[in-house]
A and B are shown apart, each in its own frame.
Chain A
């Protein structure tokens, strides 16, 4: 069976510090991968998606970047965090673009102080 992992589960970082959040998927090959952010009082917003290694599409301009160094690994990064980067970050995957639904990870709670 497939599983998706995210770490860390929680993170408190000062403004201006770097960020690296990791997501890995097990039990499948060549998944589509997604990063979403859920800010306080707001809905889920798609940040990045990837259909393969090194293929990243950004959905909204922001202070963040994403990379996919391996088939089942998706990393969300920032060089300098802003207060507005605080939120709940969710990684998700699906087998292909015609998949019925996405499968979400447990999330990372990021607080920028």
Chain B
């Protein structure tokens, strides 16, 4: 059974600092690796998706890497802004599960102005 872990559970940084969020998973035979953002009391918004054959994906200030052999993904957010404050969730569905997502517990980020 896939288990997804996110460390740290919470992170507080001053504005302008780079953010590094970690995600680890136990079953490396994943369908893809997805990063989501969740604002308080809201649904999830997809940020980045890395196909199992890819090593990284970039969108603006966001960059996500994937190392299947070690069961890890890292989300980098450059030059953080107060608007980046949210909870970030990763999901690593195993190939056998198709698109039934297995989520980590999330990292709650606070960017202080």
Contact = CB atoms under 8 A, between A and B. Distances in A.
Interface of A: 32, 34, 42-46, 49, 59, 88, 90, 92, 94, 97-107, 109
Q: Which 8 A-B pairs have the closest CB atoms?
A: A104-B43, A44-B103, A43-B105, A104-B44, A97-B98, A101-B46, A43-B103, A106-B43
B105 A42 contact: yes
Contacts of B36: 104
Contact of B44 (A46, A90, A94, A99): A90
Interface residues of B, number: 21
Contacts of A100: 32, 49
Given A43-B89, A107-B41, A94 B105 contact: no
A107 B41 CA distance: 8
A43 B99 CA distance: 17
A46 B101 contact: yes
Interface in B1-50: 4, 32, 34, 36, 41-46, 49
Contacts of B41: 88, 107, 109
Given A59-B100, A102-B99, A107-B42, 16 more contacts: A34-B100, A34-B101, A43-B89, A43-B103, A43-B104, A43-B105, A43-B106, A44-B101, A46-B100, A97-B98, A97-B99, A98-B98, A101-B46, A102-B101, A105-B43, A106-B43
